[in-house]
Amino acid sequence: MHPTIPKMLRSACLGLLFLLFSACHRSPELAPLPTDAVVLAFGDSITYGSGARPEESYPAVLEQLIGKRVVNAGVPGEVTDEGKARLPALLDEHRPALVIICLGGNDFLRHLDVATTEANLREMVRTAQERGCGVLLVAVPRLGFGLEVPALYERVASDAGIPLEEKSLKRILADNSLKSDPIHPNAAGYRQLAERIVAALRRSGAIR
């Protein structure tokens, strides 16, 4: 055998492994947002913008960054069971091309059943997808001895084939300079969240 053949085979195998690894870790794709697309930011007080002025909420900042209309559909104190009931009417009203779901924090604060929280999130994602909407899921950390992002978010996103932004809120809520109180970002925190969502949308192909 020619001495260069084993090296060539080894290089080819390494290249194949790299491609497989990259494919496994590539963010799920979203359809590019049309010029006139509406984005529905759906969630609780973090989406609403508690702790900052309305123009400093993450949906307001996101609208400026992507040049698309972003509807702030955040309701402070909402749990996922309430969100599941509220979402269909908003989808019919606004007909968004993309829905950003950021819910679950109040379920954790109230120690509600985790399996029910996961089932509610799955139902919201399915409801949006059945109407032809792209979905981005934003994970909310659970407060306790530190900040933990429940594994349910990764399961929901993986099973639905949607992108997940799982680290941003954990990082923001771990930094006192980015918080207005123990559970809400301040203006700087909301801006950082909006910027991370923009990065996630770029990775998924929704925007350039």
List the one residue out of 105, 182, 194, 189 whose CA is nearest residue 150. Answer: 105
Cβ pair 43, 102 in contact under 8 A? yes
Output helix, strand, coil percentages for the chain, rounded to the nearest 5.
55, 15, 30
Residue 14 is predicted with a pLDDT of: 45
Q: Could you tell me the CA-to-CA distances from 32 to 41, 42, 70, 201, 207 in Å, in that order?
A: 17, 20, 15, 9, 6
Name the nearest CA neighbour of 82 among 137, 43, 41, 39. 43
Report pLDDT digits (tens) over 6-21: 554 454 444 444 444 4
Query: Residue 73: in which H helix or E strand, if any?
Result: strand 69-74
User: Is the predicted pLDDT of residue 57 greater than 90, yes or no?
Assistant: yes
- Enumerate domains of the chain plus CATH numbers: 4-204 (3.40.50.1110)
- State the Cα–Cα distance between residues 71 and 98, nearest whole angstrom: 11
pLDDT category at 146 given cuts 50, 70, 90 is confident
Whole-model pTM? 0.87
